């Protein structure tokens, strides 16, 4: 099971690996010197994999002038792996704490994978023995409610919904109240995708949060921003604006399968200070996992499939 996921992660990161590690190998193969020129090439490879200009500069700056040491330690690739691992720090998984219900509010721009992530999470929590209530607070489209309904059925979660066009805040409130009454453990609130730059939509989200707090003052204990890894650097402005509006406690990075922009993990970690808690590497129910920096680095620098 765990190996299966690592393989999937390796497969998913193949494009990022080619963009980054493949080029690193190419740069340093043939015993090329670690001079200005190869460092510049490396910096370009890092930026190309969406690691971010600032972090890319830091990494190459760190390598500069340390050629003898790096050669002694083994390959530049190994050295780079160690240095980059240090940048990612420890895992910061999703932890259910405090009073029940534990309320998770899910937000993000259109199509990033919010509803799918909720379905996967619901399935995980139910299989762990938790009682889960989903709130269909994406009332914008009827199809969105149906989509969540299917996930509720598939996972064995309950769902609170209204008709399309209803008030999202009211749905979220009802879900928390229902969970309290029924003694449920977890509420996961789906919301409509919205552009972080559209202020009326961000106001609506603030209202959802305020109204949830009328039902339970300490909720939402977790506000997850779902970010599509393929959007690259735009993830940063999404995170900044959603965070300013409602306070984001964790990031779910989806679609890490098949993107060459997996380096966004470093940018988020280094420039935002919001932990990546979960990653998505596919559309299936098992394709969501806790983000583990070490697994990520193993997969990114793996050599056994290309």
Ligand X SMILES: Nc1nc2c(ncn2[C@@H]2O[C@H](COP(=O)(O)OP(=O)(O)OP(=O)(O)O)[C@@H](O)[C@H]2O)c(=O)[nH]1
Q: How far is CA 231 from the centre of its chain?
A: 12
- Specify the DSSP class assigned to residue 146: H
Which residue of 115, 158, 254, 267 would you call a contact of Mg ion, by CB under 5 A? 115
Across the strands, what pairs with 107?
Answer: 225
Q: What is the C-alpha to C-alpha distance for residues 230 and 265, in angstroms, rounded to an integer?
A: 11
- 293-300 helix and 2-12 helix, angle to the nearest 10 degrees: 50
* Contacting Mg ion within 147-186 (CB under 5 A): none
The distance of closest approach from Cβ of residue 116 to Mg ion in the complex, given in angstroms and rounded to an integer, is 8
The distance of closest approach from Cβ of residue 225 to Mg ion in the complex, given in angstroms and rounded to an integer, is 14
Nearer Cβ to Mg ion (114/209): 114
Per-residue mark of binding to ligand X, 160-199 (x: CB under 6 A): --------------------------------xx------
Query: Using an 8 Å Cβ cutoff, are 90 and 81 in contact?
Result: no
Which of these, 43, 216, 195, lies nearest to 109 by C-alpha position? 195
The distance of closest approach from Cβ of residue 168 to ligand X in the complex, given in angstroms and rounded to an integer, is 12
The distance of closest approach from Cβ of residue 119 to ligand X in the complex, given in angstroms and rounded to an integer, is 8
Could you tell me which stretch among 17-25, 49-57, 106-114, 181-189 binds ligand X (CB under 6 A)? 106-114
Nearer Cβ to Mg ion (86/143): 143
Contact status: 113 vs ligand X (CB under 6 A): yes
Residue 90 burial by CB count (10 A; 0-12/13-18/19+): exposed, middle or buried? exposed
Residue 216 burial by CB count (10 A; 0-12/13-18/19+): exposed, middle or buried? buried
Q: What is the C-alpha to C-alpha distance for residues 211 and 228, in angstroms, rounded to an integer?
A: 27
Query: Using an 8 Å Cβ cutoff, are 14 and 257 in contact?
Result: no
Cβ neighbours for 139, distance < 8 A, ≥ 6 positions apart = 145, 162, 163, 164, 165, 166, 167, 168, 171, 192
Contact status: 112 vs ligand X (CB under 6 A): yes
Q: What is the C-alpha to C-alpha distance for residues 236 and 59, in angstroms, rounded to an integer?
A: 20
* Contacting ligand X within 217-276 (CB under 6 A): 226, 254-255, 257
- Specify the DSSP class assigned to residue 217: T
Per-residue mark of binding to ligand X, 77-96 (x: CB under 6 A): --------------------
Nearer Cβ to ligand X (101/280): 280
Query: Using an 8 Å Cβ cutoff, are 184 and 129 in contact?
Result: no
In the list ligand X, Mg ion, none, the entry touching 11 (Cβ below 5 to 8 angstroms by class) is none
Q: Which residue is nearest to Mg ion (CB)?
A: 115
Nearer Cβ to ligand X (216/226): 226
Contact status: 295 vs ligand X (CB under 6 A): no
Could you tell me which stretch among 77-85, 109-117, 129-137, 153-161 binds Mg ion (CB under 5 A)? 109-117
Nearer Cβ to ligand X (21/137): 137
The site for ligand X (CB under 6 A) is made up of 108, 110-116, 138, 144, 192-193, 226, 254-255, 257, 280-283, 287
Interacting residues toward Mg ion by CB under 5 A = 114-115
């Amino acid at each position: 099971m765990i190996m299966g996921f690592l393989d999937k992660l390796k497969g998913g990161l193949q494009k990022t690996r080619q963009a980054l590690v493949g080029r690193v190998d190419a740069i340093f193969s043939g015993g090329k010197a670690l001079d200005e020129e190869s460092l510049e090439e490396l910096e370009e490879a890092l930026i190309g994999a969406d690691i971010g200009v600032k972090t890319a500069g830091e990494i190459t700056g760190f390598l500069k002038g340390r050629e003898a040491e790096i050669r002694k330690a083994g390959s530049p690739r190994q050295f780079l792996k160690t240095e980059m691992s240090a940048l990612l720090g420890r895992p910061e998984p999703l932890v259910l704490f405090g009073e029940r219900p534990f309320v998770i509010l899910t937000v993000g721009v259109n199509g990033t994978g919010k509803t799918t992530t909720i379905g996967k999470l619901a399935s995980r929590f139910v299989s762990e023995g938790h009682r889960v209530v989903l709130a269909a607070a994406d009332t914008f489209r009827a199809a969105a409610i149906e989509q969540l309904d299917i996930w509720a059925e598939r996972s064995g979660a309950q769902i609170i919904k209204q008709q399309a066009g209803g008030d999202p805040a009211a749905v979220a409130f009802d879900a928390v109240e229902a969970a309290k009454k029924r003694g449920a453990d977890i509420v996961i609130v789906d919301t409509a995708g919205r552009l972080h730059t559209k202020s009326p939509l961000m106001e609506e989200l603030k209202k959802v949060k305020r109204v949830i707090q009328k039902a339970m003052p300490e909720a939402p204990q977790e506000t997850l921003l779902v970010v599509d890894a393929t959007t690259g650097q735009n993830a940063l402005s999404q995170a900044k604006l959603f965070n300013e509006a409602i306070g984001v406690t964790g990031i779910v990075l989806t679609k890490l399968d098949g993107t060459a922009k997996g380096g966004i993990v470093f940018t988020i970690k280094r420039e935002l200070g919001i932990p990546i808690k979960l990653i998505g590497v596919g559309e299936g129910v098992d394709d969501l996992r806790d983000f583990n920096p070490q697994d990520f680095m193993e997969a990114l620098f793996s050599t056994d499939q290309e």
